[in-house]
Structure 1
Amino acid sequence: MTKHSELDDDEREQIRDRLKQERMIESAFTNGDGPWTIVYDDWRFDNNDNGGRYMAFAQPRMRDKILSHAGWDSTKGDGHPGFRTSHDDTEYYRSSQAPGFEPLVICHYFYGVVPDVLHISEEFRLLMNLWQAPKSGDYFEIKDDGLKDLAIRYKDKRIEVRTPLLKRYMAARQLDAVLFIDTRVSVEYAGDVADFSDLKFEGRIGNELMYLSRSVGRLPISDARVGSLVFAKRILPAPPQETCGIWPWDEDDAADYPEFIIGEDEYGKPVKYTCDPDRLANYFGKNPDAPHYLTPVFFKPEVLQRYYDDSDLYTVSDGQLSCASMWGVKIDNGNPNCVVVFLGDIGRDIPAGHRTHWLSYNVSPTQRMSDVGVRRAFFGQFADSENPEHRFKLAYNQLQNSWEEHWGWRLHRKAEGQDAGVLQRLRIPVNDTDAELRAQLINLALVLVDYLNEKQVASYLSDAKGDKGIAKLKKFLTAQSYRHTERDVRLLQRIQGMRSRIAAHSSGSSGQAYLEEELGNDTPQEYIARLMTEATQMLDDLRVFAEKRPLQDSDS
């Protein structure tokens, strides 16, 4: 061991720097300033340096008491329900430290019988609308627009909370957040502890809502080591209640209502107006100088791509875009070349977080609403869509229902696993890219060929061994005297061939030639629309064929 008298100035300064723990103190007093706030931590290293962090909510009236001493006012074992007695009275309490303090993280100790559990306050989870991911254990805030934002994350023994979320809760409840830390380090030093007496400090940091205690002394387990102990705490004051973003303080700001193109002036320059429904005209005299609530706004078809592709969350259907049961907006998607939404509906029904996305696809009104869209919106008429995509999906679902009613099984199995949303994702291409064309060829082949109910079809055949789906279907339909067998089989073979040669494999020159021959003069959108139209006729004819068969007994 190096004797203290033999230490040079640099070594002494290194020991001093270690005992200062300046980095830990700085982190204690900046925790809560960044995007994440540490609310729980616990560490112990091989050299026995150790420490922890904790956070509790506190009534603002507790500030003077909290900043009057170094100790933790709320510890990791606090916050449990129980009973207290006074003389002859026994009283139940929900939290051992209420009403002055409330825990965010409740430590549930089982003392080695089963693993300990760190619970997040139920009130915090409910008020901030948090959902826990089963695998990671992290919590996500479910936003009003249906999106999931990471809110609480676990990193080993550390728990971090998104600072804006924490402060919104503090604002709503009008509670301070008290951040505690204690940390112990030691270093080999056999000299006089008084050499570091100037490092000792205890007291409030100026006028800040911070308190620091740093002590230095000989370790009881070793005369050869000197250690320093830091206790620090910081109070984050409750923000104004109206900043919580929870009703009745959840109104959108003016900046959340962007201006959309609604026309062009005499020089061809776009004319824009806010989508704030409160600033638009209506049929009852409101804002007479403003554009009408029902002013059509036009968008490129690509605006719907993000919603088609996330079929677990969104549904794009005939005249409607919806996010689970969270929100929905009426759209006119009867024309495959554009999407139309009324100006007022953008501000009322599309969440603020999505409006920037829509704005990026906004175009001048060079087209017109679909005839079906006009009849529905302005005349209140029921009208079937003329969009080949909508007609295909309607015919597909009607066929499955009728076939099951009359044959006792679906002609096409329900898609499962990664393919579960394939029918929702299937669409007329929203652009001219090869990737979009390939994706829709794959989707069309999946719903019409890959998910043919081969097992049930084969059960009606005696010689289907070795045959694949389309061949089995051809034998089945021929045996059942279906009049359009050859036509429908040719269509399915074309779709399967396009998928196999163009979409699923590297096409090369031969594949490119095959694609050009198939498309002819059609654009990718026109080609897929044509396939859907032909397939819709097939599906309708198969449904009519199925309905000629007697209904199946539901008990059979």
Structure 2
Amino acid sequence: MSFAGRPEPSRYQVDSNRLTCLGLWGISIGRNKVGLIEACVGDLGRDLPSAERAHWLSFNEAPSGGLDEDRFRRDILGQWHDGPPNPLRSLATARQRFSTALARVVGQEIYRPWGAADKIAFDGLHMPTSSERQETDNQILTLAKGVIDYLDVKAIRNLPGADPKGTTINCIEAWVKKLDEDPVPLISPLRLLQGLRSTGVARARSKDWQATLVRAGLDTLQPDEQFVKVVGSSRESAEAPLSVTGPACPNRAGCVG
């Protein structure tokens, strides 16, 4: 079936193998290679409230794409199998480590506190269940908010080498350059995410949108595949400061404490 719950992140939480609703109920799920969500009939009868069943049935589709192999190995073959890492969970962890690394440098938090609605949306990020442009656009917009827009520019401007009137990304780039490090691994994914948002996701698309896709090698991919790539590059960007500051930032220019 196509997934029925993800448009409401304030109600539903989903990962690679389970869907829950406000702590009221939960059901084991899988996702196969073509993006269809699978659930066992017995689980639907046991774990899904009766009021939800007709809604779920309306999203039922004929089987295609085979079984979720990771779930088959765990649930049917009884094997110890973790499956591939969750890209969005890895991104959230990398974002926190990014925040900690830069806070060590400037002596204060570098992300502003979450707004309630934006926190719900960011926590509800998911891998698209279709190749429709609108779903991926919404995901990219939320991703850009969480990774870039919530950065506190006043804190970022305290980075050594930063322009006291500079933009967020430019200030981070100036700091990395001051450390004689290569800024590309950190800055390029941020500029890509910002570019996707500003040239098409948040406004009318122009020729700059296509140029952004081409430069990033995303122009030949479907929208859902583009999102997967953008999530991966954003995670890699968030991990880049760790190689600059080090685990404890010992004796490096630009560190505090």
Fold match (TM-score > 0.5):
yes
Structure with bigger RCO (C-alpha 8 Å, 6+ apart): 2
**2:90 is aligned with 1:394:** yes
CA–CA distance in structure 2, aligned partners of residues 547 and 324 of structure 1:
39
Q: How does 1:39-58 map to 2 (within 5 A)?
A: none
Preserved CA contact (<8 Å) 1:316 1:424: no
Match of 1:421 among 110, 120, 140: 120
Q: How does 1:46-445 map to 2 (within 5 A)?
A: 299-300=1-2, 303-304=3-4, 307-333=5-31, 335=33, 337-378=35-76, 379-386=78-85, 390-401=86-97, 403-404=99-100, 407=104, 412-445=111-144
CA–CA distance in structure 1, aligned partners of residues 47 and 177 of structure 2:
51
The aligned counterpart of 1:504 is 202
Preserved CA contact (<8 Å) 1:403 1:543: no
Preserved CA contact (<8 Å) 2:88 2:126: no
Q: After alignment, is 318-327 or 445-454 more displaced?
A: 445-454
User: Match of 1:318, as an amino acid?
Assistant: S
- Is the partner of 2:39 in helix, strand or coil? strand
State the shift of 1:314 in Å.
1.5
Preserved CA contact (<8 Å) 1:334 1:372: no
The aligned counterpart of 2:187 is 489
CA–CA distance in structure 2, aligned partners of residues 512 and 536 of structure 1:
22
State the shift of 1:434 in Å.
3.2
CA–CA distance in structure 2, aligned partners of residues 369 and 403 of structure 1:
38
CA–CA distance in structure 2, aligned partners of residues 449 and 402 of structure 1:
12
Q: 1:412 to 1:367 in 2, by over 3 A?
A: farther
More helix by share: 2
The aligned counterpart of 2:221 is 522
State the shift of 1:309 in Å.
2.9
The aligned counterpart of 2:234 is 535
CA–CA distance in structure 1, aligned partners of residues 69 and 241 of structure 2:
29
User: Match of 1:502, as an amino acid?
Assistant: G
Q: 1:352 to 1:391 in 2, by over 3 A?
A: same
Q: TM-score, structure 2 length as denominator? A: 0.80
The aligned counterpart of 1:474 is 173
CA–CA distance in structure 2, aligned partners of residues 377 and 544 of structure 1:
39
Preserved CA contact (<8 Å) 2:29 2:37: yes
Preserved CA contact (<8 Å) 1:402 1:547: no
Preserved CA contact (<8 Å) 1:375 1:383: no
CA–CA distance in structure 1, aligned partners of residues 155 and 6 of structure 2:
31
Preserved CA contact (<8 Å) 2:199 2:209: no
Q: 1:462 to 1:543 in 2, by over 3 A?
A: closer
CA–CA distance in structure 1, aligned partners of residues 245 and 26 of structure 2:
35
CA–CA distance in structure 1, aligned partners of residues 83 and 157 of structure 2:
36
Deviations for 1:500-547, whole angstroms, at most 9, x for unmatched residues? 110111225x35644764642211111111112222333344456555
CA–CA distance in structure 1, aligned partners of residues 28 and 237 of structure 2:
30
Q: 1:527 to 1:350 in 2, by over 3 A?
A: same
State the shift of 1:336 in Å.
6.3
Q: 1:330 to 1:480 in 2, by over 3 A?
A: farther
- Is the partner of 2:92 in helix, strand or coil? helix
State the shift of 1:313 in Å.
2.1
Q: 1:499 to 1:395 in 2, by over 3 A?
A: closer
CA radius of gyration, larger in: 1
CA–CA distance in structure 1, aligned partners of residues 232 and 119 of structure 2:
23
Q: 1:454 to 1:376 in 2, by over 3 A?
A: farther
* Structure 1: stretches of 5+ with no match in the other structure: 1-298
Preserved CA contact (<8 Å) 1:318 1:333: yes
State the shift of 1:315 in Å.
0.8
User: Match of 1:524, as an amino acid?
Assistant: P
State the shift of 1:324 in Å.
1.9
Q: 1:486 to 1:398 in 2, by over 3 A?
A: closer
- Is the partner of 2:30 in helix, strand or coil? coil
State the shift of 1:332 in Å.
1.3
More strand by share: 1
Q: 1:493 to 1:368 in 2, by over 3 A?
A: same
- Is the partner of 1:507 in helix, strand or coil? coil
